[in-house]
Structures are given as structure tokens and as C-alpha cells.
Structure 1
């Protein structure tokens, strides 16, 4: 004979278990949807967590002390960054279905333990991608990629400069002198500024000439000056909408270091 109190207690326990299961489920799985190509291209995607085919969390795709691998989508290609080399692969998105071609990579060798092996595994894993789902809420968007073996990656999105500035960039090349020089920079005492000049190249890559040296008071996003090193940088220049009164209307973001040379004093 089953007493009413026992039935009530069983029901309460079952309800508690259901609530606990829901609490353990990642929030982003509640509102996942198919990503559009525009949404994929509006962010760079950094690996946050990974799970193997059995659903267990794994660190197999990350190296301790290094930045996580990053994916960036453009209209035609998927780029893998923050490993040893940069890999590029064609991709196709159709609803939640994702297809990735075998990546092509630069051939630089890296001595760091495990880095080349990780890069090789990433290159093998990407063509097995089968699905992509996007979750958006109050925080950063989360992109979940599913693979043929049942494993998955969860990647957090950060807006690209083009998304942040709301316009396409202008590509420029700058030579940056090896040493900073004293400059007058508002209320900043003993300010030191970069000396830069614009380099012009023909379509075939042949250097055509250089402009005059000028003082640069701002910062170049994604690049840090090192004293005594001369650089030629390929930059994306953005127009800043409604900049503060004491700020520039232009923003510069590093695309690539073209040349780097240690200069003896």
C-alpha cells in the first residue's frame, strides 16, 4: 500500500532533480539558432570550452599559457589564428549545417612544445565540422560547432573592428621608426611619440615611395612598439563616428607586420 505522503515526496524529489538538471544545462543551449553569414563575419570567435564525443570537457584543443585558438569568417574563407601558422579554409553555411574544406596553412616552424601538434590536429578536425549554432543573450554571443565524431567547440564572439566602427577600413602601410621621440601631447608630461611615414606600393608589391615622417600620438590596436626595432606595418584605418573632443577621428588596427628589423644605435 502506497501512502499519499510517499507519492508527494517522490513527486517533490523528481521535480527537484528536473530543476537541478536544467540548472546544469548551459544557458546558451536554451536559445540556439542557425547563424547567418553576416553574424559569423561580425565577430572573431575564441575557443572557450571543448567537449569530446562522449560529452566530457577536454583541454585537448588548448595549450596552457597560450591564447585560445581563434576563428574568423569572411565572405569566402574561415581563418584559424593564434596558433603557430595561420590556416585558411573555404566554408559553406546552410542553416545549422556547416561544411569546411581542408585548410591551407603557412609553413612556419614553431619550437614551442605541443604547438605544431595542436595545429595539425585542428587542421584535421575542421573538415569534419557538421553543424553551427549561435546563442545570443545579455553577454557575448556563443558559437557552437559540432563535429562528425560528436565532439563540439564553444567559442565566444568579440566584435571585429569593422563591426565596432561601423564601416569598412582603408588599407595603409606605415613605416615606424625604431625609437620614440619627445613630443607635446596635451597634459601628458614628458610624452613620447612614434615617428611614422606612409609607404606606397604598386599592385605588384614593388615599393613606389614614402611620405614625410610625422609624429603619431595615438595607438595601433593589436601592435606594441619595441624600442630599437624598425617596422613596416600593414594597417586598417577606420573612421571613428563621434569621437571625443580630445581624440582622433581615425583608428588604426594592425593587419600584418610586413618588415621587422633590429636597428643598432
Structure 2
């Protein structure tokens, strides 16, 4: 009987830990092992900002102003460039364990009266230089690229096919959308 009483606290503790662990597992984002992000995959698209939220999941409206000129990222084999901000921003990059690692970004030094463009400069530079996690997903037939930084900001870009992209040139075997 003493042995049973001594096991009771351990049994209760394991029962109490179970639901929390199950809840965490159910809510944790699942990575798609089949999706590999490479410079070739990124260079196939012009990535235009679709959504932006801060660490409290509040929409960053300042980044989404000027819907006719969305903030845009373009990638080549080793360069990233940002358009539709106040200044032209570019630099070298590489992908390291699912994170975007950039060199010191270069930018023009124009003064902008438009606060939306100025905010775009500040935010995208901060996010890019912070080594954000890269998440590739899709919404229907539209590829999405999300940059998630350590402060909880997430910037989601929708892919628009680049004119000079060639499907399958990096050995991808994924079916191409018509």
C-alpha cells in the first residue's frame, strides 16, 4: 500500500503534464520537410508585401500604405534588393539553417516626405539585418514568403512570377502551375 501511495504523486504529475504537451504540439507550426528554400526558388518571383504584423499580431498599416506600389523584394543568386521604399536597398545574402543572413545593406540616401516610404525603409532594413526565419507556403496557386524576426514581426510577401525565371533550373521536381 505504501508503494501505491508513493506512486500516486508521480502518476498525477504525468497526467498533468500530458495535456499541456499535447496542446503545445497541436498549436506548434509544422514545417513542411519537402519545402526547401534556395536562392533559385526565391529568384523565380518578385515578392510583394501582402501582410505585415508586429509581435502582438497588430497589423503594420504604415508598411501597407500605397497599395499600387507594394514593398517588393527581389533575389538573385546572391543579392537581395528592395524596391518601393523611400530608398533603393540592396546587399548580399545567404540562407543559413532556414534564416536569411544579409551583409550590411547598402541604400541610397534620398529624403522622403511620405511617412509610409520612410517607415518601409526602417522596418525592412531592421527585419532583413536581423536574420529572419524564412517560411515558404502558398495560398491557392500564389507562393508566399514570410520573414519572421526575433521581435515577432512577420512580413508576408506574395510571389509574382519574374519574367526571367526558368522553372526547374535548380532541379526542383515540383509541378509548375499553368
Q: TM-score band, normalised by the shorter chain?
A: 0.5 to 0.7
Count the aligned residue pairs. 143
CA contact (8 A) 2:63 2:119 kept: no
Indicate conservation of the 8 Å contact 2:71/2:120, yes or no: no
1:96 to partner: Cα distance: 1.7
Separation of aligned partners in 2, 1:43 and 1:64: 21
Larger helix percent: 2
SS of residue matched to 2:41: helix
Q: Within the alignment, does 1:135 sit opposite 2:137 as a pair?
A: yes
Name stretches of at least 5 consecutive residues in structure 1 with no aligned partner. 1-21, 23-28, 168-265
TM-score of the two chains, using structure 1 as the length reference: 0.47
1:164 deviates by 6.6
Shift of 1:31: 5.1
Aligned runs of 1:18-37 on 2, under 5 Å?
33-37=35-39
Partner of 1:38: 40
CA RMSD of aligned residues (A): 3.1
Q: CA deviation at 1:84?
A: 2.2
User: Which residue in the other structure is 1:100 paired with?
Assistant: 102
Larger Rg: 1
Q: CA deviation at 1:123?
A: 1.9
What stretches of structure 1 move > 3 A for 4+ residues in a row?
29-34, 164-167
Shift of the 153–111 alpha-carbon distance from structure 1 to 2, 3 Å rule, reads same
**2:165 is the counterpart of 1:163:** yes
Question: Aligned match of 1:70 in 72, 89, 94?
Answer: 72
TM-score (norm: length of structure 2): 0.67
Gaps of 5+ in 2: 1-26, 170-178
For residue 153 of structure 1, the aligned residue among 152, 155, 160 is 155
- The separation in 1 between residues aligned to 2:107 and 2:161, in whole angstroms, is 25
Residue number in structure 2 paired with 1:90:
92
